[in-house]
Chains A and B, each alone.
Chain A
C-alpha cells in the first residue's frame, strides 16, 4: 500500500461551523486546502481569500467579441462584399447593426460565462480523488467538508489531523491519490 496521500478530510455539521473552522485553518497558514459544500456559503469566499472571479471578464470578452464580429460582418456583407443600393441609403451605418450585434453579444457573453466557468474550474473532469471516498457523498447532502491538501507546505499527517479534530471536524480521514 504505497498510495500517495491526496490530503486529509474532515466533516462539519453546519455552514457556521465550517466558516469558523475555515477561518482558523486560514489563520494557521495553510494554502492548499478547500471547502466542499452542498451550496455556496455566504462569506466563505472572503475567508478563502478569493478575489473577484475572472468569469465576468471572460463573459465580457465573449460578448464584446461577438458584438464587434457581427457589426463587422454586416459591414463586410453590405458595404464590401455585396453592396446593393437600396433607396439611396448608406451601405453601412452603425445604428442599423445594433440589434443583431446586441443579440449576438448576449450569445457571446453567455458562452463566455459558461466556458470561463468550466475553464477556471477545470471541468469537465472524469475523476477526482475525493469522489472515490464513500463519506464524501454527504458533501452534496448536509455535511460541510474541509480538505487540506498533502501538497501544502505545512501539511503533516499527525499535526494537521490534530488541528482538524480540535476545530470540531468529525471523521477525519486520509484521502488517497488514485492513479
Chain B
C-alpha cells in the first residue's frame, strides 16, 4: 500500500509535461520484460531482411575485398590511381573517412557516459561496435599503402637485425601508435561492456551450444556487488581514456597534413578540423544505422524517437562547428595573402578538376545539415536515414577535396597531375564497406546489440530510490 501512496505523491511533485525528461524506454513494463525485449533479436530466428542485407555485404567482404587486396599486395601500389604528384589518393581518403566514422561511436559511448546521459545506454553498444569495425577498416589502409606490407613490422619499435628504429618525431609514426591504440582500447571497452550481457544470454540460453559459447564469453560473471563495484570503476576509467582518444586519434591524422608545407594543408586548425569532421561524419553513420535497425529489429520502444532526435541534434552541432571551420579556412586563405593558399581554395570550388566534390561539401555539409534545425525533419526516420547517408558522402567528399585537391596542383605548374581512382581503388573501398556491414550485421544478430544491464539500471524500476524500484516512504537508513 505504501508504494501506491508514494507513486501518487510523486505524481503531484512531478514537473509539468513539457519540462519532463523523455523516458529512456517507452512503455516500460519492468525488468523482466526489458530483458526479454532486449535479448529477443539475438535469440530469434534469422529474419529475411538480415539475409538480404548480409549476402551482398558478405560477397563484397569475402570476394571483392580479398581479390582487390591481394592483387594490390602482389602487384604493388601502382595498381591504384596514386601516382606523382598524387601520392595520396583514395587509400588515405578512405582511411580518414573510416577513422572519422569511428569517432562518433566513442563520443556516444564514452563522453555521454561521463556526462551521465542515461539515454545513451540504449545506443551506446551499437555505437561502440561501429567504432571497433570502422577502426579495423581504417587501420588496413595505411598498412597496405606502405607498398610492402610484409615490412609493416618495421613501424613498431622492436629491435631488429638492421639496428633501425622508427622515426618517433613523425606524425605518420604517431598514427601507427594512435590507430593501434584506438583499435585495442575500443575493442576492450566494447568487450568489457558486453560481459554482463553475455551472462544474461548465458542464463537465458536454451541450447547447449549457446550455453557453452556464452558461458565462455561471460567468463564466469555472476553480477555480485563486489564484481559490479570494480567493474564500474574499470568502466569509468575506460570511458575517460576513450574520451581522450576521441580527441587524440583524429588530431594526429590532422597533424599528418598540417606539418607539411602544401597549400591547403599547412594550417594550424587541422587537428580540430579533423576531430570535428570525424565526429560529424560518425553521427551521420549513426543516424543511418539507428534509424534502420530500430525498425528492422523492432526496437522502437527502446531506441525512441527522443534518442534519435538527440543524435540528430548532436549531428547538427558538430555540423555547425564544421561549417565555422570551413569559413575560417577560406577566410585565413584570403587573409594570409599567400597566393598559393588563395589559389587552392579558389580552385576547390571554381577550378575545373574536382569542383564537384567542393560543391558537394557546400551542398551537403553546409546546406543540408541546416535541415536538422527543424523538428519535423528530426522526427522523420526516413528523411534522417537519407540525411545520414548524404552526410557520409559529404564528409567523404571533404576528404577528397583536402587530400587530392591539394596534391594535384602544388607550387609548380609543371608538377601538376590528375588523380583518377582505378577499379582496384573502387573495389577495395566497396570491399571495406562490405566487410564493415557484414561484421555489423553479425554483431547485431549474435551479440547483445543493446547494453541490457545498462538500460535496466537507467529505468525507474532499476532505481532503488524510486517507488517503482521498491523504495519505501521515509527511505532507508
Contacts and interface: CB of A to CB of B under 8 A. Distances in A.
Chain B interface size, under 10 / 10 to 19 / 20 to 34 / 35 or more: 35 or more
Contacts of B456: 38-39
Given A35-B225, A81-B165, A82-B163, A113 B238 contact: yes
Given A73-B157, A100-B177, A141 B32 contact: yes
B464 A110 contact: no
Interface in B163-211: 163-166, 168-169, 171, 173-174, 177-178, 180-181, 184-185, 188-189, 192, 196, 199-200, 202-204
B185 A110 contact: yes
Contact of A103 (B231, B248, B462): B248
Given A16-B472, A38-B35, A38-B453, A120 B230 contact: yes
B430 interface: no
Nearest to A118: B219
Contacts of A14: 461, 464, 468-470
Contact of A50 (B181, B221, B229): B229
B368 interface: no
Contacts, number: 219
Indicate the member of A42, A113, A124 with the most B CB atoms within 10 Å. Answer: A113
Contact of A53 (B203, B222, B233, B452): B233
Interface residues of A, number: 71
Nearest to A51: B229
Interface in B221-277: 221-234, 237-238, 241-242, 244-245, 248, 252
Indicate the member of B168, B177, B457, B462 with the most A CB atoms within 10 Å. Answer: B168
A10 interface: no
B225 A17 contact: no
A173 interface: no
B143 to A, nearest CB: 17
A169 interface: no
A43 B465 CA distance: 9
B56 interface: no
A125 B174 CA distance: 37
B223 A36 contact: yes
A49 B230 CA distance: 13
A76 B227 CA distance: 41
Nearest to A116: B234
A14 B470 CA distance: 5
A2 B202 CA distance: 29
Indicate the member of B185, B204, B245 with the most A CB atoms within 10 Å. Answer: B185
B174 A140 contact: no
A126 B165 contact: no
Given A41-B225, A96-B169, A97-B168, A137 B203 contact: yes
Contacts of A19: 464, 470, 476
Contacts of B245: 106
A167 interface: no
B63 to A, nearest CB: 35
A4 interface: no
Contacts of B196: 38-39, 140
Contacts of B169: 96
B234 A23 contact: no
B225 A16 contact: no
Nearest to B454: A39
A19 B462 CA distance: 12
Contacts of A45: 225, 229
Given A121-B227, A142-B31, A110 B221 contact: no
B469 A103 contact: no
A120 B221 CA distance: 13
Contact of A42 (B200, B453, B464): B464
B188 to A, nearest CB: 5
Contacts of B165: 77-78, 81-82
Nearest to A41: B464
A78 B168 contact: yes
Nearest to B255: A99
A150 interface: no
B238 to A, nearest CB: 5
Interface string A77-115: 110011000000000000011011011101101110110
Given A56-B233, A106-B248, A142-B32, A100 B168 contact: yes
Interface of B: 30-32, 35, 157, 163-166, 168-169, 171, 173-174, 177-178, 180-181, 184-185, 188-189, 192, 196, 199-200, 202-204, 219-234, 237-238, 241-242, 244-245, 248, 252, 452-454, 456-457, 461-466, 468-472, 476-477
Given A16-B466, A34-B225, A39-B453, 19 more contacts: A16-B464, A16-B469, A20-B472, A23-B476, A36-B223, A37-B225, A43-B464, A43-B465, A53-B229, A78-B165, A96-B168, A99-B252, A103-B252, A110-B185, A110-B238, A111-B188, A124-B219, A128-B220, A140-B202
6 contacts: A14-B468, A38-B453, A54-B230, A59-B237, A77-B157, A114-B238
